[in-house]
Structure 1
Amino acid sequence: MSTADHSKSPKDSTSARFSATDHDIVLISNDRVAFNFYRKNIKVHSVGFLNTDTKDTNPLATSNAEEPSSVVIDTIAVDETSKTLDLLLQFMSRQLPPSLEGLPFVDMVALAEAVNKYGVYSALPACQDRMRSILPEHSLDILAHAVKYGHVDLADYSAPFTIKMPPEEVGEALARLPSLLAVSWACYREQWNVILARASRSLKTLSLGAKTGSCAGCRKSIRAIALELLEGLRSVQAMSDFSCASDDQSFWHSKWCISLKSEIDAVKKFSSFSQHLYPKKQVLDFFNVWRDEYDVVLQSSDGVQFRFSKENLAVHSESFGGANSATCTQDKPEIVSLGESSKALELLLRFMSRLPQPDLSGILFEDLADLAEAVEKYEVYTALVPCRKAMQLAMPDHPLPVMGWAIRHGHLSIADQAAKRAVPLSPDTVRTQLKSFPMEYALALTLYREGWVSALHAAYRQLVKSCSVDCACCRTTAASRISLQLGGDSASLLKIYGICCTVKDSGLCTECKVRVTTWRDEVNKVVQGVPKLSSYL
């Protein structure tokens, strides 16, 4: 049971961030910090947070023994520290989620444990992204965490990083793992040892035809390659980055590298060794979740109806198309019509339910764009970050639609990135898509593209100045070779380093190579100086 800590004043013991006076519940961390919060947020965001019997009278709430009518607020004592609880409650509030960048691993694990324990699905993607960014550090701990909570993708992602462990440390590592997980990990690691052994045996066989013992393509000796193999299991890169400078498969080293690469590509995922370890998860159908408990009906633009909870809408969004204030009973439901398609609305409501967040990687761009618009329109914070990431990933294939979305919602850095991605598009493609843009956006993009045309003209002028010198060693000038690569296309400036490497490798003399490098550096300054799209908005 929680008890009052008389050594601290209420001000000293209350969270600075969560200190609202209109709260209806107080959470006490294990280091005795009180967090004033709201039951509806906990109910909407968490599967099991309120399933506890450890309640008592709040020692820090405003109460007065001389006034029996004073409101008594229940408290819940939790096992988490104040740092973990502060982060967790931010994910359960109507605000942008906290950044986990730079969070120490021990605090990251504590948060991830709490997120899984209480089923705070809105925080799961952020926790997993942070764990991925920590790798290769703590790879075995991350693998164990992923298996414990059934995060198959995270387990498969982290497992390859664990093979770098030296053989002398394997025994200690196995002792740290649960017995069943240790067996699965040992089997997974063994397949990498088999590949390394095969690579070592085949190295001598493939090199028998080499008279000098060195590869004719890249001049690497057998001894040098064998030394590389000694580091085979110390990192994923050591196994996957073996390569020959020549792509000619007639060279034994190139053939050996291709064979090794094919074996690495065929490595089984960790989940194929550990399916029996993952906890069985209840598959929840979205349409059945609100089959019985609902107090509002939302209708999509294509006529599909969704039963939902006004409380969930209120916690996640300040204004949801008037649905928050709709009056409805199950016998006589009020239908609220919305402008979103059924696909976009279903995805949006999943982000607002006590369900795992939907995977946006496989949906059509049209559906993603509709969802991203709805998320910004209704300010559904749990979906803002996933949608922005998904739109950025869609940028290479849909630069102009992403640019338009980013400008509309004030994400100017994303708009600048998308505009740069759109530079290689043909004028006809740009002209067609600009018809659906507001005049302000179209004018800004036109001026931005003109900036790249000006940069191309400057590159040609610099080319004449730097590289048009006749060279006695080279049959053609460096300028003519570069000009052929540029092709009069401003988008070629995005590939300036590759163009210069190609030209320098085409048989130029040392002096001409220096001229090309000088031109490249000058042009790069010009490219860096092209005004961003946002400067025209």
Structure 2
Amino acid sequence: MSDGSSKKTMSTIFCDPTADVLFESSDGVLFRLQSKSLAITSAGFAAPEKIVIDGQPTKLEETAEVLEILFQFIEPPSDSREFRYPSIIKLTAANMFLLAEAAEKYIVFPAMSSCVTAMHFLTNHHPLRITNHAYKHGYKDLLRKAFVVSLIQPDLGLVATLLTSPGLLAKWLLHYSRLRKVAQVGDSWFKEKATGSWDFYVLLILVPDTMDGKAPATNASQIFNDPTADIILESSDGVLFRLHSKYLSATSGGLSSPDQTAIDGSPAELPETSAILEILFQFVEPPSDSRNFRYPSVVDLESTQLFPLAEAAEKYSVFAAMSACATAMHFLTDKHPLDILNHSFRHGYKDLMRMAAPSSLHQPDLVLVAEKLTTPGLLAKWLAYYSRWQKIAAAGDLWFERMAKDYKCGRLFASWTAYIRHCTQDPGQPQLFRAAVARTSSKFTEIVCPYDDSCECKKQSGLIKLLNDKLANMPGFDEL
């Protein structure tokens, strides 16, 4: 390159020689992107002062590691990326917050959405950082959730280090001080009865407003009704949506296909309801100032909306909606294991599938299992998985039976009963099998064992070894 960039490293992903925008990271890595993609998926890079198209790289403050992730939310994902935006679930906390800050700085809509979705479920893990991010960028619902948890942080030095947004630290300390005064009133009452910290009084539940997913009262969408739009789509309940084909082709891989859209003035009919499409299309058209340059949040959607939205997002390959829904599901596997297992199996989210499968075994109603696991081949796989866990639990049961023949120990029988109850209530959780053994071996101490240390009721090491051997040979759900 005549610009001297030949000595620099070029990104292995963003290296298209036909791209008309060139960026350089703080550590000297070059990225080539299409200006048309920047204009559609961001409002920060699209500004003239943010990009240069004369061959000279525009230097950015972020590292190549962060930009490599961020830019994958800008360029439409290709087949090599499975038509998906990157998952942020496995990012370190440091990288997630750096990515979130860069997404807000350059207003990269899908990256903003994915990061904030994840943060809603991580307030207990990173309350101060999330409080700082939410306050700085105006995410009020997220701020309410994280702020309460952040008040339990006893290290005020750490608080001062992490709450860097102007005005936030003073506000935090004011609230902290007020809660301490409330706690002192309670402490004076409990003075002779308890020594608990004031933190235990901070048991507040703030429920943010839920997203309005009801169908519009008229037969035309109140949001998507631009008369200059060249595509008209109609929901199953008769609501019309006007969209621009240029956005459909840039933000989705399904709606842009000829058989899914009509441009002759007649609407293309879609099987989804207007409630679902109203949310989905907000991930297609670039969010405007009236929407705070943000995609909608899926965090507070009911399951009756989240899963139809996720299915529609996959069906039409709406990249940002796919990312937001999959991110949310990673934190909901205990709450909706069967729905998430069905979705992840159908669309090939292996990590999500592995997370949901163990929790799905808690469902004792096999009729409901059959109703939920509708993807071809999934129910048979689930039953095989269920059967393998039953065999592991049964192996522990047989171990107790053998021990009981040699030792008529009441404590051993009590542990046996507790183990069976545990395996019935919490099957499919390998760490819980061992936890059950650990708990039962130290439980029932009031029951006197008539034998010496030869009785397994005290440590149950044989059972632990048996379970460890069985679990070591247990394949994952995706390996069956």
Alignment of 1:197-208 (within 5 A): 197-198=184-185, 200-204=187-191, 206-207=192-193
Contact 1:299 1:338 in 2 (8 A): yes
TM-fit CA distance, 1:164: 3.7
Alignment of 1:281-360 (within 5 A): 287-320=222-255, 322-323=257-258, 326=261, 328=263, 333-355=265-287, 356-360=294-298
Contact 2:232 2:266 in 1 (8 A): yes
Structure 2 length normalisation: TM-score? Answer: 0.74
1:238-268 alpha-carbon deviations (Å, 9 max, x no partner) = x54xxxxxxxxxxxxxxxxxxxx3x322599
Quote the residue 1:89 is aligned against.
71
Quote the residue 1:426 is aligned against.
364
Matched, 1:51 2:47: yes
TM-fit CA distance, 1:464: 1.9
Q: 1:38 aligns with which of 34, 38, 50?
A: 34
Structure 2 distance, partners of 1:103, 1:392, is 15
Structure 2 distance, partners of 1:387, 1:412, is 15
TM-fit CA distance, 1:532: 3.7
1:42-80 alpha-carbon deviations (Å, 9 max, x no partner) = 2221234333357766145xxxxxxxxxxxxxx8x4654
TM-fit CA distance, 1:189: 1.8
Contact 1:468 1:479 in 2 (8 A): no
Contact 2:43 2:107 in 1 (8 A): yes
Structure 2 distance, partners of 1:167, 1:530, is 46
SS of the equivalent of 1:18 reads coil
Contact 2:419 2:436 in 1 (8 A): no
Which residue identity lines up with residue 283 of structure 2 in the other structure?
F
Quote the residue 1:120 is aligned against.
108
Distance 1:189 1:433, change over 3 A: same
Contact 2:34 2:75 in 1 (8 A): no
Structure 2 distance, partners of 1:102, 1:163, is 25
Distance 1:335 1:134, change over 3 A: closer
Alignment of 1:376-395 (within 5 A): 376-395=314-333
Q: 2:172 aligns with which of 167, 185, 208?
A: 185
Quote the residue 1:469 is aligned against.
406
Quote the residue 1:161 is aligned against.
150
Structure 2 distance, partners of 1:108, 1:417, is 20
Distance 1:446 1:21, change over 3 A: same
Contact 2:392 2:470 in 1 (8 A): yes
Contact 1:368 1:391 in 2 (8 A): no
SS of the equivalent of 1:265 reads coil
Structure 2 distance, partners of 1:148, 1:38, is 30
Contact 1:468 1:478 in 2 (8 A): no
Matched, 1:404 2:349: no
Which residue identity lines up with residue 203 of structure 2 in the other structure?
D
Segments of 5+ residues of structure 2 without an aligned counterpart are 78-83, 209-219, 288-293
Quote the residue 1:517 is aligned against.
460
Aligned Cα root-mean-square deviation (Å): 4.4
TM-fit CA distance, 1:391: 3.5
Segments of 5+ residues of structure 1 without an aligned counterpart are 61-74, 208-214, 216-224, 233-238, 241-260, 272-284
Structure 2 distance, partners of 1:334, 1:498, is 62
Distance 1:104 1:431, change over 3 A: closer
SS of the equivalent of 1:288 reads strand
TM-fit CA distance, 1:410: 2.3
1:67-119 alpha-carbon deviations (Å, 9 max, x no partner) = xxxxxxxx8x46544635544322212234446656685x7666544422432
Contact 2:437 2:460 in 1 (8 A): no
Contact 1:360 1:368 in 2 (8 A): yes
Distance 1:166 1:198, change over 3 A: farther
Which residue identity lines up with residue 534 of structure 1 in the other structure?
D
Distance 1:78 1:103, change over 3 A: farther
Rg larger in structure: 1
Distance 1:525 1:508, change over 3 A: farther
Structure 2 distance, partners of 1:357, 1:52, is 23
TM-fit CA distance, 1:185: 2.4
Structure 2 distance, partners of 1:145, 1:534, is 36
Quote the residue 1:150 is aligned against.
138
Contact 2:237 2:273 in 1 (8 A): yes
Moved more, 527-536 or 373-382: 527-536
Structure 2 distance, partners of 1:104, 1:492, is 30
% identity of equivalent residues: 21
SS of the equivalent of 1:379 reads coil
TM-fit CA distance, 1:201: 3.5
Which residue identity lines up with residue 265 of structure 2 in the other structure?
P
Contact 1:316 1:380 in 2 (8 A): yes
Structure 2 distance, partners of 1:156, 1:122, is 23
Structure 1 distance, partners of 2:374, 2:241, is 31
SS of the equivalent of 1:311 reads helix
Contact 2:132 2:163 in 1 (8 A): no
1:125-161 alpha-carbon deviations (Å, 9 max, x no partner) = 444447986987893x754443232122443444443
Structure 2 distance, partners of 1:28, 1:168, is 35
SS of the equivalent of 2:202 reads helix
SS of the equivalent of 1:426 reads coil
Contact 2:221 2:241 in 1 (8 A): no
Matched, 1:534 2:469: no
